[in-house]
Amino acid sequence: MTALTLEQRAWQHLDPSTDDDLPRAELLRGDAVTPESVDWLWEGWLAAGKLHILGGQPGTGKTTIALALAASITTGGGWPDGKRAELGTVVVWSGEDDPADTLAPRLRAAGTDMQRVHFVQGVREGLDHRPFNPSQDVGALRTALAELSDVRLLIVDPIVSAVSGDSHKNAEVRRGLQPLVDLAREHRCALLGITHFTKGTSGREPVERITGSLAFGALARLVLVTAKGEAGNGEPARRFLARAKSNIGPDGGGFIYDLSQGELPDFPGVMASSVLWGSALEGSARELLAGAEQQEDDPTGDAAGFLHELLRYGPRPAKGIFAEAGSAGFSKDVMHRAKRKIGAVALKQGMEGGWAWRLPTSEGSEGGTQNRSRSSRPSGTGLLPSMDDGPF
């Protein structure tokens, strides 16, 4: 009998009598695994074969940042920390921006070697042609990437498009992203997915603010976030990129940047934005975000006073509150935050009625405490205490 190699013995099935037609898990013994270091494109920030999520506030130029990173790779240029990029090719798919009037101009403004950039346009099957769908066409993309020898970065914008099911369900997100993650691993390229922050999540952990299921942040090896805050002293708003999570290196820290708008020299009338990198930042992403967002105009404080005044004489129907708040310039989202801020409670108006809000029972109000007996309320309210916060 021919002697088995170490790797063959490591993969050898433990029970040779098992029926070969039955599915079985393949086990790899630990001593057959050779440790290797992380293949960094940008040390600590972009890793080959790994999923990265870039999320943040609207208007912070997330796509422009991704294209700036692409420019560094295509030219072997510098990263924001001054280190040099390894020369390579970049592949970009965007479901939101057009290559001709948005993506290509921004890449050119960043100094990209356009011969090293490829835009995913669609899928051709025989004589048929259709738009590329990242949730079902990874196999077709794999075939196309096989024709490129040095792909180092794959940008998917928005990354939620890779999920064909409910993007708020962990299992469906993991199932949707896995083919792209496997593709990035096969080609040793960094996978960068772009997304947004969920509205009304200020103050929470940055990874938890990524739109959709927590699986987006959990499956990613690195999560990068962007934000914009007032610099103070009359200076313009300051944008920054921060590292919110890293499973393969240090987290925290970031870089200040600005967005510049200008006309492309060789294309009269074509305007494009580009990134101007600034100094490095220290601190956690949560601290950096908090420092930026607390300086923004926050209507919650005014809305809290407005809501307290509405409820000081007793419960009010939620629909009426929203109507009055709208007239005063407060959105539903702001009113929800104001409700949480003052500790207001939602109650059901009878078995078939709508919802109402009231002040917390421990707080006083005009004419006595808010915790008045049911008989002291005006007749006809029919308010039933809620065990939870209700739909409002």
DSSP assignment of 52-84: EEEEE-TTS-HHHHHHHHHHHHHHT-B-TTSPB
Average the pLDDT over each of 123-137, 168-182, 309-323 and give the range with the smallest value: 309-323
pLDDT at 212: 92
Question: Looking at residues 332-351, what average pLDDT do you find?
Answer: 84
CA distances from 265 to 56, 269, 275 (A): 31, 9, 17
CATH 3.40.50.300 in the chain, residues? 40-293
Question: Looking at residues 87-100, what average pLDDT do you find?
Answer: 96
Average the pLDDT over each of 35-39, 250-254, 364-368 and give the range with the smallest value: 364-368
pLDDT at 272: 94
Q: How confident is the model at residue 15 (pLDDT cuts 50, 70, 90)?
A: low
Beta pairing partners, 212: none
pLDDT at 17: 54
Q: What tokens does 324 get?
A: 């009055």
What are the residue ranges of helices labelled H in the chain?
6-11, 62-75, 104-109, 138-145, 170-187, 215-219, 285-293, 300-311, 318-327, 332-342
Give the relative orientation of helices 300-311 and 332-342 as an angle to the nearest 10 degrees: 70
**Mean pLDDT value across the chain:** 84
Do the Cβ atoms of 257 and 276 come closer than 8 Å? yes
Q: How confident is the model at residue 16 (pLDDT cuts 50, 70, 90)?
A: low
Cis peptide before 158 (omega within 30 of 0): yes
Q: In the CATH hierarchy, which fold is given to the domain comprising 40-293?
A: Rossmann fold (3.40.50)
In this structure, what DSSP letter does residue 103 have?
I
Q: How many helices (H) and strands (E) does the chain have?
A: 10, 19
pLDDT at 58: 82
pTM: 0.71
Is the pLDDT reported for residue 186 higher than 90? yes
Q: Is 374 helix (H, G, I), strand (E, B) or coil?
A: helix
What is the CB neighbour count within 10 angstroms for residue 68?
Answer: 27
State the distance between the two ends of the chain, measured CA to CA, in whole angstroms. 73
pLDDT at 352: 67
* All residues at 6 or more sequence positions from 117 whose CB lies less than 8 Å from its CB, including other chains: 70, 74, 89, 90, 91, 92, 107
pLDDT at 374: 36
What is the CB neighbour count within 10 angstroms for residue 200?
Answer: 15
pLDDT at 338: 87
Q: What tokens does 82 get?
A: 């001054």
The rounded distance, in Å, linking the Cα atoms of 210 and 163 is 15
Do the Cβ atoms of 65 and 259 come closer than 8 Å? no
In this structure, what DSSP letter does residue 386 have?
-
